[in-house]
Amino acid sequence: MSHEPLLKTEHLTKSFVARRDVLGRPKRYVHAVRDISIHVEEGETLGLVGESGCGKSTLGRAILRLHEPSSGRVFFRGKEITTLSKRELRPLRREMQIIFQDPHGSLNPRMTIRSILEEPLKVHGIAESKSELDDRVEALMKRVGLRPDQLDRYPHEFSGGQKQRIGIARAIALSPSFIVADEPISALDVSIQAQIVNLLRDLQDDLGLTYLFIAHDLSIVEYLSHRVAVMYLGRVVEEGPARELYEAPLHPYTKALMSAAPSPDPRREKKRLILHGDLPSPLDPPSGCAFHPRCPIARKGICDRDEPPLRTVVPKRKAACHFAGEF
Amino acid sequence: MSDALLKVSDLRLSFSIEGTRTPALRGVSFEVGRGKVLGIVGESGSGKSVSSLAVMRLLHGTTAKVESGSALYEGRDLFKLSEREMRSIRGGELGMIFQEPMSSLNPVFRVGDQIVEAIRAHRKLVRKEALEEAIRLLERVGIPDPRERARAFPHELSGGMRQRVMIAIALAAGPRLLIADEPTTALDMTIQAQILDLLRELKGELGMSIILITHDLGVVADIADEVAVMYAGKIVEHAPIRELLERPRHPYTRGLLASLPSFRDNLTKPRLPTIPGVVPDLRSLPTGCAFAPRCAYAQDVCRDVDPEESRSGGARFRCHFPQESELQ
């Protein structure tokens, strides 16, 4: 019996037109996401970390076809979805949902919470009668820790954390199996973040959800993820089980990222690996390994010339570095 | 005689919201020692930014009103200075940097010229000397090719570079106190580490004091000597950094630290410890302790009487039932 992950991408690439010529023809492209092959097992959380512009959000959206991929393929339950027409894609939308970073901007201010939550149910013809809809949305509110008697209020009457709960309720309204959570807690107050993290985890346990969890906060990703993929300038540079990746990074960028994260635990050792230089522009990526201008172990003649492939370094762990693990 | 560079006492400030006066600061007192970094931590609406804006007298043109309190800088009350006197101190001895460097820089002037302007506002240098000084400052804050970069416009620089330019502008007048309001929040993790490193260096080299305002306890742990934790317009706990992290007295501080995934063995727990409820609305604060509705230790007295400040060890805190045990 062959095993199929719930979600898989093969060489997924998404480019945007960066510049057009006088006739409006594309002149230059920026490769936001390049040659990404990842998979997410059913019921697991794959954490996706990286700094701004690394393509993590674009990847999440390309998987859901909210951005049309430029090339490469996406498989859901073993079925290729990149070739499906919009109409054919529709039933799959029930299965694949997204939670956005900004809970304020992603809720229509003119709609009551009830109509926000009813909308997907109506569109997909899941609940028809008024009483059925009422039951459903009330259950959703309770599920995410809100009171059903708040259903007829408007988004502005809720706090940031409560709005994110509404965003989560909308995402689970259609009983999806896969959710892309795009920085769902980074806009929230610190004392509220843990509440939402716990909610996401409870929902995963109770509903068997599979998450692609995108964030720049490394500790929250470590807490929620089974496996983690680290992105740099449009590519995955390291991927592996969360615990191992955090404890002994294989890629020097992962190592730098981990050491840059400030920790409030005085017992934690503070040894800093501070990178020099800025993130390069994806418009004009460096030659060879994109990380080589900032890399503490880069070697001339190798790293500035050849782009290292993402390869298995130790079982279940991959890294895209000529000298993975050698530092 | 205290050796504080800045001493803020019982600062009370309110905003007019829809015609009613809403308290934003409800008696805030803190000190910044010479050459020390004070971290001010809090969530949205806690008053952490308003405190420093009030001290810098940058709330003109808003509905803010300082009801009472003083801000002694080198023995002089900043609230009693004339606007003219204040102007020479602000941007001079008191520098400030903000979260979003793009909106603090003028987009139509070259960054070198903006630093020159700051230099010449406070020191008598001819343009050419000032430009050399600007280039030296750009180099000091870690900008490569400073001579060339001085000719760049803000949009030509990355976020991290722009924040370095802002720091160079703040340094131009040789400040003795730098107020940094979420200086790294908009920056990427690896760039944040660079900027914190730079601030640490400048503090050591120039003996500058820093007030670092942030929501991130990790950032504070990284750089601060002392920390003030704010909640609903009050400082609820003020302690040396190590003491605060190891033995937080106030249940809010304890709750915040304990809820972080990176704290102690939280990673292995099936659920993170949380603080229930939401950040309070300043328009309808409860009587008694503002944290009581969310506090696991709250008793009747907490709901009736707002706690006065108490002391233990090196810490000051406002709580009827301070916790003395080490945080596990």
Between B188, B190, B271, which is nearest A201 by CB?
B271
pLDDT in tens, B140-181: 898 888 999 999 999 888 888 899 999 999 999 889 999 999
Mean pLDDT over B70-95 rounds to 92
Residue located via tokens 């949009």? B155
| Annotated domain spans of chain A | 226-327
- Cβ contacts of A192 on chain B, cutoff 8 Å: 278-279
Name chain A contacts of B260, Cβ cutoff 8 Å.
190, 194, 219, 264
Chain-chain contact of B262 with A161 (C-beta, under 8 angstroms): no
Asked if B256 and A261 come within 8 Å (Cβ–Cβ), the reply is no
Does the pLDDT at position A265 exceed 80? no
Using the beta-carbon criterion (under 8 Å), do B192 and A260 form an inter-chain contact? yes
Inter-residue contact B112 to B134 (CB < 8 Å): yes
Percent of chain A surpassing pLDDT 90: 74
Q: Which residue has the tokens 């992962």?
A: A254
From the CA of A12, how many Å to the nearest CA of chain B?
A: 25
| Average pLDDT value over all residues in chain B | 92
Chain A: give the shortest CA distance to residue B188, in Å. Answer: 6
pTM, two decimal places: 0.89
Given this model, what pLDDT does residue A52 score? 81
pLDDT for residue A156 is more than 50 = yes
Gap between the Cα atoms of A130 and A151, Å rounded: 14
Q: B253 vs A283, which has greater pLDDT? A: B253
Exposed, middle or buried: residue B315 (CB in 10 Å: 0-12, 13-18, 19+)? buried
Measure B143 CA to nearest chain A CA, in Å: 9
Flag if B246 and A266 touch (Cβ within 8 Å): yes
Reported for B321-327, long-range contacts at CB under 8 A and 24+ positions apart, including other chains, are B321/B251, B321/B297, B322/B249, B322/B250, B323/B248, B323/B249, B323/B250, B323/B251, B323/B254, B323/B297, B324/B247, B324/B249, B325/B247, B326/B246, B326/B247, B327/B245, B327/B246, B327/B247, B327/B248, B327/B254, B327/B257, B327/B258, B327/B264
- Using a CB–CB cutoff of 8 Å, tell me whether B163 touches chain A: no
Residue of A51, A266, A277 lying closest to B221 (CB–CB): A266
pLDDT for A255: 93
Q: What pLDDT is stored for residue A1 in this prediction?
A: 46
Mutate to test the interface with A, among B262, B269, B279 (most CBs of A within 10 A): B262
- pLDDT value at position B1? 42
**Per-residue pLDDT for B114 more than 90?**
yes
- For residue B81, the SS3 value is coil
Could you tell me which of A186, A148, A193, A191 has the C-alpha nearest to residue A166?
A148
pLDDT digits (tens, 9 = 90+) for B274-326: 999 888 888 889 899 999 999 999 999 999 999 999 999 999 999 999 998 88
Q: Strand, coil or helix: what is B95?
A: strand
CB pair distance less than 8 Å for A223 and B266? yes
Taking CA–CA distances from A197, the nearest residue in chain B reads B272
Give contacts of B 51-80 with A, CB under 8 A. Answer: none
Residue range A82-109, pLDDT digits in tens: 999 999 999 999 999 999 988 888 899 9
Which residues, numbered 280 to 299 in chain B, qualify as contacts with chain A under a Cβ-Cβ cut-off of 8 Å? 294
> Is pLDDT larger for residue B91 or for residue A248?
A248
> Could you give the angle at the alpha carbon of A272 between the alpha carbons of A101 and A293, nearest 5°?
80
Residue B213 has pLDDT above 60, yes or no: yes
- Shortest Cα distance, chain A CAs vs residue B64, angstroms: 24
Structure confidence at residue A27 as a pLDDT band (50, 70, 90): confident
Question: Chain B closest CA to A144's CA: distance in Å?
Answer: 14
Residue B98 phi, psi (nearest 5): -120, 175
* Interface A-B: count of C-beta contacts within 8 A: 128
